[in-house]
Amino acid sequence: MSGPRDITDLWRSPAAPCFIIGEIAQAHDGSLGTAHAYIDAVAATGADAVKFQTHIASEESSALDTWRVKFSRQDATRYDYWKRMEFTAEQWAGLKQHAEEKGLVFLSSPFSLAAIDLLERLGMTAWKVASGEVTNRLFLDAMIATKKPVLVSSGMSYLAELDATVAHLKAAGSPVAVFQCTTSYPCPPEKTGLNLITDYARRYECPVGLSDHSGTPYPSLAAATLGAKLIEVHVTFSREMFGPDVSASLTTDELKKLVEGIRFIETSLEHPMEKDSLAGQLDPLRRMFGQSLVAVTDLPAGTIINRSHLSCRKPCHGISASDVDSVIGRKLKHAVKAVQFLTAEDFE
């Protein structure tokens, strides 16, 4: 098994394949065993990376932290939920090691300065800035200090805020990528913002991706066709699983098909065709499926051909049906039988 992909090839090579991330987030529901199982499942899809979220409740939350959606019956407060999502530094190290053994890049969005410190000690290869943290200069500056690439989700940002963040990162020398992202779970088609893929690529002159929450593969396939260099989708074992992101997730089987689809699209785009060249390669099929002119009935020598004398049959074995005008008004040199293929030698 090959090792994890080098994410920095996105900045070195415009032809680098799309970097596909399976986002686990809180789908593990606080179970370390389930988190490891997701790593195995994402690796089996052919994705490039698996991504988690690193929460340290006491460092990111407070008593004022409220539910976006009150989905959990076992957690009295959102703080309680974040607490239940925590893993120890040793457990995070084990998840990272497992991911890399499976050939995956390990990523995790930090939600506190302490989480950034923890992940940096593990040796993160890149940072993913969650939508709510795009303007957080404390986070950004801590990431800049590591000199690692920074992947920015645009989900909650005004354009001016996104401009400022990208400019700040670039001024510091950080490799930057920008995700079009709509913070809506699940995201309806009219809010996916696919037009922003090409807009951001022109505006920021950096790798651009889609962080999709539609729960379908369609926006990601479209984004790859439009030139997205990164795709991130939430992953679940089943849509009957528990968790806040299930409705916005792909199943692992769907992620596998998405990876296959993106690679198919990339191969297609890497091999542009000239129409005449393609037609030339298909000449044997053109002859097989094309039709040639035949006589409708027995015709005596000297017959002046009009359209009522003609029909056509497969294969293309004589004068092509496309050349019918070339024989109208011409005289037969000798008699021909009904359904006989006509050739140039039949005419004076």
Q: What tens digit of pLDDT does each residue of 133-152 get?
A: 999 999 999 999 999 999 99
Q: Which CATH superfamily is domain 14-269 in?
A: Aldolase class I (3.20.20.70)
More confident residue, 245 or 203: 203
More confident residue, 284 or 49: 49
pLDDT exceeds cutoff 90 at 80: no
Parallel, antiparallel, or unpaired for β 150-153 and 127-129? parallel
CATH topology of domain 282-346: Type Iii Antifreeze Protein Isoform Hplc 12 (3.90.1210)
Residue ranges of E strands in 26-166: 49-54, 105-110, 127-129, 150-153
Q: Using an 8 Å Cβ cutoff, are 78 and 67 in contact?
A: yes
Region(s) of the chain under CATH 3.20.20.70: 14-269
**Residue type for position 68:** R
Q: Residue 282: pLDDT band by 50, 70, 90 thresholds?
A: low
Convert the pLDDT of each residue in 209-233 to its tens digit: 999 999 999 999 999 999 999 999 9
Region(s) of the chain under CATH 3.90.1210.10: 282-346
Instruction: Calculate the dihedral angle through the C-alpha atoms of 67, 70, 74, 78, rounding to the nearest 10 degrees.
Output: 0
Transcribe 159-180 into DSSP letters: HHHHHHHHHHHHHTT--EEEEE
Q: Residue 185: pLDDT band by 50, 70, 90 thresholds?
A: confident
Parallel, antiparallel, or unpaired for β 292-295 and 249-251? unpaired
